[in-house]
Structure 1
């Protein structure tokens, strides 16, 4: 299903008792614009496919990209895409009505991945890995079909940090979620414009806007996810030490390979003492007797 309406109409009315969405929106746009600039996420002539799930993050992402599309010094297209995965009770009308009112070009894809995930996932195991793999394949394929040059996802700061610690705690890998990523086959580029944004700021904006949130019946229904445990750990850190999460995120941009332990990342084996220029006092090749005498003197002292 594809629809394009050029004239925006009324969108869901925000609750007047909540903070002004305009006031909450400005810092979000500023942070996203900085991430887009830092990682050169969007360029002249891009066609950006925004993956809209019906959650607070993707709604916010769409708002930010539409705002930047109007004000940025470059021209780029925005097209929204939602994947209907066949979840029972999924409100099929919500996103088409919302996007039609907003005047945004959109595609609704229908693939029953829900049944596959439920069938293939053993009882008590998490569904996230298989679900995300199936969803990613469908979205990648559709991006190629419509000529999208970038695929925009709504992952924010906490998503990136949760991934970092999930990989560290359970996978023994120092690996996070990059702001910009090329697919393995090189045919898609994924961008995460919300990479610098805190989840709480997105939540406040989404509440003020009154987005028609659609809950997920797969990952959203699993209470014992390790990711949730890690998320609670990060939230606790931020409550007790405000600013800690921002420091961790900043640390990911200031990596010192020589102070880690990855032998593929840094050539530790080649490290050796280099004599100071002009200092031949301990050069064993030119003064072998000095090395011998120094060793002999040390042995006498120990004896």
Structure 2
């Protein structure tokens, strides 16, 4: 995927769900993975031409793994002219050594988001951007159906009243396969996850299930995504009527 296509998908999502307004200061969460780095490129590129003016701050929540090197991300942000902040934590130690959590994902996510949102507020940001893409949204829906018995997935835009910040997900129309292609084309400085259970989670199970369903029933993945968009999920904002943005299935322009 080329940068122009990425920007087209991103602008479509931003316009459809009115994610960005004039004067916004958006904290971009950078984990070091392909998704968050792709989002950094997307929002940095969108800043150049989007009619509503906004700024971005890049933030990494360092979980405490000694092998995790933020230098390549820092260099990329410096090249882009984006302010970069690292929040040092001991989350990994707390979860895996102190508490020895048997199912650590939920607690880890809660602690990471708490540290990220707190730093975003300290830096004067009124919005925070999470790098969930289309596949994440579909997988979350399946996980919710299977393990919670409800039809649910991430909302494109959510106001967190306790923190007084709004969460946005500008990559919601981007396929994971396209993120991988973007990573390879632009040689993103991806840092390998140091989590000891990476690849052995329920989310990995859902990812494989979606692949299997789409293989056995071609088009199932897109139909699931359309069901989510049209499913009137509680908490989801309404889509705006968009006439100036391209079709997400044919992102031919900006």
Give the TM interval when normalised to the shorter protein. Answer: 0.7 to 0.9
Q: Distance in 2 between matches of 1:164 and 1:120?
A: 32
List per-residue Cα deviations over 1:53-83 (Å, max 9, x = no partner). 1111111111111111001112101111111
Compute the displacement of 1:211 (Å).
Answer: 0.8
1:131 aligns with 2:108: yes
Q: Distance in 2 between matches of 1:159 and 1:212?
A: 21
Compute the displacement of 1:209 (Å).
Answer: 0.7
Compute the displacement of 1:255 (Å).
Answer: 2.6
1:230 aligns with 2:198: no
Match of 2:3 in 1: 25
Compute the displacement of 1:186 (Å).
Answer: 5.4
Match of 1:170 in 2: 147
Match of 1:85 in 2: 63
Q: Distance in 2 between matches of 1:243 and 1:30?
A: 22
Match of 1:158 in 2: 135
List per-residue Cα deviations over 1:114-133 (Å, max 9, x = no partner). 1011135546x332111111
Instruction: Name structure 2 gaps, 5 residues minimum.
Output: 235-254
1:35 aligns with 2:16: no
In structure 1, the residue corresponding to 2:188 is in which secondary structure?
Answer: coil
Compute the displacement of 1:101 (Å).
Answer: 2.4
List per-residue Cα deviations over 1:158-189 (Å, max 9, x = no partner). 11111111111011122111111112525111
2:78 to 90, 94, 100: 100
Q: Distance in 2 between matches of 1:176 and 1:210?
A: 31
Q: CA RMSD in A?
A: 2.0
Match of 2:175 in 1: 198
Q: Which has the larger radius of gyration?
A: 1
List per-residue Cα deviations over 1:61-113 (Å, max 9, x = no partner). 11111111001112101111111111131113222222122221111111111
1:149 aligns with 2:157: no
Aligned residue pair count: 234
- Decide whether the 8 Å contact of 1:127 with 1:218 is kept in 2: no
List per-residue Cα deviations over 1:250-299 (Å, max 9, x = no partner). 11122379xxxx9xxxxxxxxxxxxxxxxxxxxxxxxxxxxxxxxxxxxx
Q: Distance in 2 between matches of 1:185 and 1:249?
A: 30
Compute the displacement of 1:24 (Å).
Answer: 2.2
TM-score, normalised relative to structure 2: 0.86
In structure 2, the residue corresponding to 1:151 is in which secondary structure?
Answer: strand
TM-score, normalised relative to structure 1: 0.72
Match of 1:3 in 2: none
Match of 2:92 in 1: 114
Q: Distance in 2 between matches of 1:75 and 1:222?
A: 37
Match of 2:225 in 1: 249
